[in-house]
Amino acid sequence: MPLREFRCKQCGEKFEELVRNGTKVTCPQCQSEEVESLISSFGFKSSGRSSLAGGCTSCSGGHCSTCH
């Protein structure tokens, strides 16, 4: 279940919320529905690291000279 980070456009409150499909996210501070989702700092970026490093997932090194 994805834990997403949000920021309220009304009061600037930052909060995390478990989001399921169809769930309406409201600010815990002012109950506003005017919230924007921030890209979570954990999960997405760290898991995409190996593919960004050179497109190789079979080796953990930065260079793929041995497996290509």
Q: Which residues bind Zn ion (CB under 5 A)?
A: 8, 10-11, 13, 27, 29-30, 32
- Residue with smaller CB distance to Zn ion, 23 or 29: 29
The least CB distance from residue 59 to Zn ion, in Å, is 46
> What SS3 state is found at 5?
strand
- Residue with smaller CB distance to Zn ion, 32 or 50: 32
- Residue with smaller CB distance to Zn ion, 18 or 34: 34
Q: Say if residue 20 is exposed, middle or buried (CB neighbours under 10 Å; 0-12, 13-18, 19+).
A: exposed
For 1-68, where are the E strands, in sequence order?
3-8, 14-18, 35-38
